[in-house]
Amino acid sequence: MAMDFLLDTNILIPAEPASTADVEPTTLVITDLLRLIQETGGRAVIHPDAFLEIAKDRDPARRRLRRSLIGKYLRLDAPPELSDELAEAIGRPQPGTHDALDARLLEAVRSGSAGVLLVTDAAGLHRWAALAGLGDRVLTSSDALDMVRRLYEPPPVAPPAARSLSSAALNATDLIFDDLKQDYEGFDVWLSAAALQHRQAWVVENEDGSYAAVTIVKEETPGEHGLQGKLLKLCTFKVSGSHQGNRYGELLLKPVFDFASAHGYDSVFVEAKPDKRLLFAFLEQFGFRSTGVLKDRTDPVYAKTLRPGGDAAGLGALEFHVAFGPPAVRWRDVRAFIVPIQPLYHARLFPEAEAQLSLSPGAEAHGNGIRKAYLCRASTRLVASGDLLYFYRSGAMDLTVVGVAEDVHVLSEASAIVQAAGKRTLYTYADIEGMVADGADVLVIGFRQAQVISEPVPYGDLKSNGVLKGAPQTVTSIGEEAATWLAHRIEL
């Protein structure tokens, strides 16, 4: 069974432009997505409410043309009304409003009646999806294209990881900077000054060497925007229009967190124009919060603290990690598990833990991100949100990576597994179908990577200190005393 994708109207309009004004940077991404969906046997479907959206167009000729263009898409049958469960998470919008239509789109995903993943480039819908626990089933057009490629095409298909360089080495004429030049007067002068100061930067490059994403950081004066301690500012955090989505943002954010941890920063913050709602929604998934401060009375300031304070006491283990990590985790009074992983999947899921890969060109973007999904045919039903996961590389027989469980599912249908893993999966559809071919249950663990262990813990040490009794063949729980030893050994 192939996947179905529910398209928001902000996907339909650039996909079916009624004029040159409807052509957007995402148009090529969306047309590629629709082509791949069709080629892989999937379906692109629309909500009947899309016609209500189109009916609001005040241009009669354009309204008729758009109705005709989207009329070719399959429609959901009897889509559900907004449930009390979803309304509790996102509120109950006024009937007839745009928000009410968005809520019905999200309800179609939540209820499962649609059996689809939602594709939308609306920041508000992504924020709602996160609040409702549906964030991995709601994709930007770029993330959806990336996901379909990973499901149905041979890996690797994604661009390499973020590459570290001095801002002096940046190509200042790259097209990715054009939007920044329009948004910020004097950006060229600022970029030249950043180059002279050799500020730290990272880029994600396309195959032709152009930039898919770029970030530049600088140390800021303590007290800026009321933030105390050693401060790291994201001066520039930009994903190109054709790559908007979580995956490329994660490629930039992960090395920033690694850099901040290695250099002892207390907080990371960013200032951005108020219309950058998709950026704010993305950052909120990784512990950034609005400070309530507006730079120059217009630009919101979002910050993330990296030092747990008194306010951390009431947080659960997952909430703690999101708020203060990576790499920070809570390990006391938290259940811990050893998760064995075969060498092939270890190399793809954790390329930086492989000496020969280590974030090199050609490595998969997914493996170099933060939020991931691990699939296995395990009998355990004990793993839950917030639990510590220690990934054990079966081939080398050592412990290499620490993660925090985000959500856990036990499923036996390939399409349901894809929906549960969402944009975090690196497994192909064929891989997943093979796992359930005989009707077996598959354990789907969505998790956040906390850290790569600098000195992997060998099997002999794990066995002699009671962490393992033998080489693990399945997900295995760790006793309290052994878990304490391991946390100290890794210096969590």
What are the structural domains of the chain?
A: 4-152 (3.40.50.1010), 163-307 (3.40.630.30), 336-490 (3.10.590.10)
- Rounded CA gap, 380 and 336, in Å? 13
Q: What is the pLDDT of residues 170-213, one digit of tens each?
A: 999 999 999 899 888 899 999 999 999 999 999 998 888 899 99
DSSP-derived 3-state class of residue 475: coil
Give, in order, the Cα–Cα distances in Å from 328 to each of 321, 322, 338, 349. Answer: 6, 9, 19, 20
| Degrees, nearest 5: CA angle 139-404-331 | 155
| Whole-number pLDDT of residue 116 | 82
Per-residue pLDDT reduced to its tens digit, 352-408: 888 654 444 434 444 578 999 999 988 788 999 999 999 999 989 999 999 999 999
CB atoms inside a 10 Å sphere around CB 360: 14
Could you tell me the two tokens for 70?
Answer: 């989207």
Higher pLDDT, 424 or 115: 424
Q: How many CB atoms lie within 10 A of CB 101?
A: 19
Give which of 156, 216, 213, 162 is closest to 192, Cα–Cα: 216
Q: What is the pLDDT of residues 266-298, one digit of tens each?
A: 999 999 999 998 899 999 999 999 999 999 999
CA 370 to chain centre: 7
Angstrom CA distances, 248 to 125, 256, 336, 363, 366, stand at 19, 13, 30, 13, 9
Spatial distance between the Cα atoms of 252 and 164, rounded to a whole number of angstroms: 10
**pTM: predicted TM-score of the whole model, two decimal places:** 0.88
- The band of 158, judged by pLDDT with boundaries at 50, 70 and 90, is very low
Query: Which residues does residue 375 pair with via DSSP β-bridges, in sequence order?
Result: 444
Look up residue 68 and give its two tokens.
Answer: 């005709």
Q: Does residue 177 contact residue 241 with C-beta atoms inside 8 Å?
A: no
Phi, psi of 301 (to 5 degrees): -115, 120
What is the spatial distance between Cα 343 and Cα 350, in angstroms, rounded to a whole number? 10
